[in-house]
Amino acid sequence: MADSTTTGSMIPIPVKLDTAEIGSKEDLYHLELLQRATNYLAASMIFLQKNTLLERPLSKEDIKGRLLGHWGTCPGINLIYAHCNYLIKKHSIPMFLVTGPGHGAPACLANLFVEGSLAKFYPQYSVDKDGLSELIKSFSWPHGFPSHVNSEVPGQIHEGGELGYALSVSFGAIMDSPDLIVTCIVGDGEAETGPTATAWHSYKFIDPAESGAVIPILHVNGFKISEETIYGVMEDTEIATLFTGFGYQVRVVSDLNNINADMATSMEWAYQEIRRIQNCARSGNPICKPRWPMLVLRTPKGWTGPKELHGQRIEGSFRSHQVPLPHAKVDDEELHLLESWLKSYRFHELFDLSKNSFIMEVLETLPKEELRMGIRKETYAAYEPLDLPDYKELMIQKGDNESCMKVVGQYCSRVIKMNPKRFRIFSPDELVSNKLDAVFQVTHRNFQWSRQTSYKGGRVIEILSEHTCQGWMQGYTLTGRIALFPSYETFLGIITTMMIQYAKFLKIGMETSWRLPIGSLNYIETSTLWRQEHNGFSHQNPSFINNLLNMKYNNIRIYLPADANCFLITIAHCLRAKNYINLMIGSKNPTPVWLSPEEAESHCIAGASIWKFSSTDDGLDPDVVLVGCGAEVTFEVIAAASLLKKDAPELRVRVVNVLDLMILPRYGSHPHSLDDEAFDSLFTSDKPIIFNFHGYQSVIRTLLFDRPNSQRITVLGYKEEGTTTTPFRMLTANETSRFDVVIAVIHSASKFHPKLSIRAHELISSYKHKIVEHDKYIEKYGKDPENLMNKPEF
């Protein structure tokens, strides 16, 4: 790799383009007509509720009561969409478009309408006058298409709104799809975000032999909502230098007088460069560090829109970002400007009213129907389930100690072997640290710029960017494949809002009849806070659970298996499951296997059960219920039960383990939530409950709020106390240790248990003393007393 003679040159290699074929006068004319049509439609959608074909002079009644939508980015999207069509038609390429500036929905919808994709999924938007009027009128109207691209819009795999993720999602989509090309528009506003800024590195992880390609188009129109953009004030040489540094060949398209010819040539150049790189790799002569093509497209914001209003520039300024003529319904001058603007597209020349259809020339640029971007199967109907190995073969004998992640690593190795092209693991450089390295017995990392790992078809990608991992996983999953994102528990929080935006896309997608099921997003949180005692406070944050819990309950699943057998069953389930966001939380450290394979099966099916081996209530009428949810805190609960058996033998103690967090909330709120009877049979209807929880107390408080008699519940959990210390000190600092559990039990139960209440004060004192003594030991010896790891006696 170090030998520069073998690497892709930093200077673009001129490709021989057959210019006779590209951008003929006729083709350019057709390209222009298509854009005139889509520009007209996009503008009309923002403004008109009637008279959508301008068959009579525009009047104020024709204007919508609320003007919603973003014009500024639309003409650029229409230009790009048209040229995607042109390229697809020319080469019969499987391609679709990911639109970073998702607020440009009018442009996307306009193109989908013209090409007939909208009508395929929504008959009311037939490609005729009625459909056209319906489209224009219902855009941004209650129950119509929303103002931003979402999962109701055909051909889309990306929620438009929160900027920054289009590029990484595009790269996820082309992985393991060698023929596919995704064109990705990155707006110059979006390009300022961190997640986009690092996603440019994605090509360093794309093997041109096994995967497809992205054509990134940085669309520089110079303005955000109200400020100039960074890329807008950079000169061509500055932009070209930057992206050359990222590893690209850069071609700037900015000649407005010949923009269609320039764009056609540039797209062809990008395509030929992609094929050249792919052909080399696929013929066994891969280019080292290939320099993939990208385009920089400079067009004025709101191009072709109104030039000026009240002496202020609109076209080419931030004023065209949203609605460039905001008072068109009440102001004569604006109405007049709007009418001139719309008429400038001469839509009547493009749509033949007598034939009730577009003229042929408008449609000339479109590829044949099965290649149109709005109906690509990859975007809505490509899911195939994984072939899954039998997890039973990997289960551990009850009583042994085992790391959950070790068995997951072994399980994933088998999944990889059985699914060499449909399963990937995305990790922020933590796979080995998370003890999942068993997968490296059957696969590699896939880092093309590394001598060690390039061209080996590795299923693992590690980039130190959770945002990029998440974007890749979204793109991969939404195009029908399945992925796993294991992470340090703490750092998964980095992609909180990406998960939320995905959950929104998923929720609406599931309500959208034509979208077929997809695989689930699968997260593993390990290196959890309780065992980040060595890395300290910054590595202790279980907030992702809380954030997932606020999403629609239909789409979320949260599991905290307390041992390796339960984790195996859980991951097998999650990799099979469809349409969910699965969060699995478990330990990478060896912990006791509490349940036999059969017991684990029953436990996982139930989601929670009484663990009789550590209970002293004989299954009936306990005085107090101890609940553990999560590996380390469950260990403490079991240890507490053992202590209680010795020190408070009169107390009938029940131990419950909760594996599936979603059994807890009010019946009917989640598909897994227990009915009252089942809930009471586990937790009783009135006995004190000491709930020792893996994460923040707020999680359990939220889930149990609506259960009757909630005042009987004491919730223990992580309280933001942490540093570099010992595992046991982490527990006592947050009052989740066995001693704290015992104290909480005595505190609660003694109210109802006269015999115990006499000794309560003394018992509590002695346990508080034990905590102090342990802390002294820990400070002195720099480690926990070894007996704390012993399996509790019963």
Give the residue with the Cβ less far from a second copy, 241 or 681: 241
Asked if 595 and 398 touch (Cβ cutoff 8 Å), the reply is yes
Contact call for residues 195 and 151 (beta carbons, < 8 A):
no
Residue 450 or 757: which CB sits closer to a second copy?
A: 450
369 near a second copy, judged by CB under 8 A? no
Cα distances (angstroms) measured from residue 770 to each of 716, 763, 773 = 19, 11, 5
Judged by beta carbon, residue 167 or residue 625, the one nearer a second copy is 167
Q: Of 128 and 775, which has the nearer Cβ to a second copy?
A: 775
- Cβ nearer to a second copy, comparing 514 with 705: 705
Residues 510 to 529: which contact a second copy by CB under 8 A? Answer: none
Per DSSP, the three-state class of 493 is helix
- Looking up tokens 């806070």, which residue turns up? 529
Residue 638 in tokens: 């079991």
Minimal distance, residue 488 CB to a second copy, in Å: 9
| Count of residues of this chain found to bind a second copy when the rule CB under 8 A is applied | 127
The answer to whether residue 789 forms part of the interface with a second copy (CB under 8 A) is no
Stretch that binds a second copy, among 228-236, 263-271, 357-365, 375-383 (CB under 8 A): 228-236
685: contact with a second copy by CB under 8 A: no
CA contacts within 13 A on the Cβ side of 536: 3
CB of 246 to a second copy, least distance (A): 6
Task: Kindly identify the residues of this chain, within the stretch 420-439, that bind a second copy according to CB under 8 A.
Answer: 429-433
For 154-171, give the DSSP string.
Answer: TT--S-SSS-S-HHHHHH
The order of strands in the sheet holding 581-585 is 460-462, 423-427, 482-488, 521-526, 581-585, 556-559
Contact 468, 461 (CB under 8 A): no
Residue type, position 87, single letter: L
AA identity, residue 350: L
Q: Which is nearer to a second copy, 30 or 531 (CB)?
A: 531
Within 87-116, the residues that bind a second copy by CB under 8 A are: 102-103
Residues 710-749 that bind a second copy (CB under 8 A): 710-711, 715, 720, 723-726, 729
Q: What are phi and psi of 696, to 5 degrees?
A: -70, 145
Q: Which of 14, 16, 226, 311 binds a second copy (CB under 8 A)?
A: 226
DSSP 715-730: EEEE-S---S--HHHH
668 conformational bin, left if phi > 0, alpha if psi -120 to 50, beta if neither? left
Q: Which of residues 26-55 bind a second copy (CB under 8 A)?
A: 49
Q: How far is the CB of 365 from a second copy (least distance, A)?
A: 30
Does residue 401 bind a second copy (CB under 8 A)?
Answer: no
Is there binding between residue 299 and a second copy (CB under 8 A)? no
Residues 565 and 544: their CA atoms lie apart, in Å, by 24
Q: Which of residues 8-27 bind a second copy (CB under 8 A)?
A: 10
Residue 62 interacts with a second copy (CB under 8 A): yes or no: no
561 binds a second copy (CB under 8 A): no
Q: Assess 235 for contact with a second copy (CB under 8 A).
A: yes
CB 471 within 8 A of CB 172: yes
Q: Which is nearer to a second copy, 70 or 372 (CB)?
A: 70
Among positions 130, 179, 238, 255, the unique one binding a second copy when judged by CB under 8 A:
238
In the bound complex, what is the minimum distance in angstroms from residue 645's beta carbon to a second copy?
29
Subset of 438-477 contacting a second copy (CB under 8 A): 445, 447, 449-450, 452, 462-465, 467-468
Minimum separation from the CB atom of position 553 to a second copy (A): 9
What values do phi and psi take at 349, rounded to 5? -75, -20
Q: Using CB under 8 A as the criterion, what x/- string covers residues 644-683 for binding a second copy? A: ----------------------------------------
Q: Position of tokens 């690497």?
A: 7
Residue 679 has φ and ψ, to the nearest 5°, of -60, -50
Residue 196: CB minimum distance to a second copy, A:
7
Q: Tokens 């060499």 map to which residue?
A: 420
256 binds a second copy, rule: CB under 8 A: no
Measured distance CA(311)–CA(307) in Å, rounded: 10
344 vs 702, beta carbon nearer a second copy? 702
Of 126, 272, 546, 596, the one binding a second copy by CB under 8 A: 546
501 in contact with a second copy (CB under 8 A): yes
- Cβ 46 to a second copy shortest distance, Å: 11
Sequence-ordered list of residues with C-beta below 8 angstroms from that of 511, at least 6 positions apart, any chain: none
Q: Which amino acid is at 769?
A: H
Asked if residue 176 binds a second copy (CB under 8 A), the reply is no
- The tokens for 563 are 């041992």
Q: Which residues pair with 703 in a beta bridge?
A: none
CB of 138 to a second copy, least distance (A): 9
> What does the alpha-carbon distance between residue 586 and residue 602 come to, in Å, rounded to a whole number?
19
The contact mask relative to a second copy for 129-158 (x = CB under 8 A, - = no) is: -----------xxxxxxxxx-x--------
SS3 302: coil
CA-based torsion, 280, 284, 285, 286: positive or negative: positive
Structure tokens at 285: 């002569």
The nearer residue to a second copy, 36 or 694, going by C-beta atoms, is 694
Backbone angles phi, psi at 330, to 5 degrees: -120, -15
Structure tokens at 334: 């604006």
Which residues, at least 6 apart from 249, have a Cβ–Cβ distance to it below 8 Å?
12, 13, 273, 291, 292, 293, 294
Give the binding range for a second copy (CB under 8 A) out of 177-185, 477-485, 539-547, 578-586: 539-547
Based on its alpha-carbon atoms, the radius of gyration of the chain, rounded to whole angstroms, reads: 30
Window contacting a second copy (CB under 8 A); options: 237-245, 375-383, 574-582, 761-769: 237-245
Q: Whole-number minimum distance, CB 147 to a second copy, in Å?
A: 5
Minimum CB distance to a second copy smaller for 45 or for 58: 45
Cβ-count burial of 516 within 10 angstroms (0-12 exposed, 13-18 middle, 19+ buried)?
A: middle
Query: Which residues have a Cβ under 8 Å from the Cβ of 767 and sit 6 or more positions away?
Result: 739, 742, 743, 746
617 part of the interface to a second copy, by CB under 8 A = no
Report in angstroms how near the CB of residue 242 gets to a second copy at its nearest.
3
Nearer Cβ to a second copy (397/790): 790
- 541 belongs to the binding site for a second copy (CB under 8 A): yes
Tell whether residue 233 is a contact of a second copy (CB under 8 A).
yes
Residue 302 or 493 having the CB closest to a second copy: 493
Q: Which is nearer to a second copy, 267 or 663 (CB)?
A: 663
Of 75, 100, 106, 189, the one binding a second copy (CB under 8 A) is: 189
The β-bridge partners of 777 are: none
Q: What are phi and psi of 559, to 5 degrees?
A: -120, 140
Tell me if 330 contacts a second copy by CB under 8 A.
Answer: no
CB of 144 to a second copy, least distance (A): 8
Question: Measured from the CB of residue 529, what is the shortest distance to a second copy in angstroms?
Answer: 12
Tell which positions 749-768 bind a second copy, by CB under 8 A: none
Least Å from the CB of residue 215 to a second copy:
20
Nearer to a second copy, 345 or 718 (CB): 718
Residue 448 C-beta: closest distance to a second copy, Å: 9
Cβ-based nearer residue to a second copy, 50 or 398: 50
Under the criterion CB under 8 A, does residue 122 sit at the interface with a second copy?
no
17 within 8 A of 271, measured Cβ to Cβ: no
If you ran DSSP here, which 8-state letter would residue 228 be given? B
* Cα–Cα distance, 196 to 471 (Å, whole number): 10
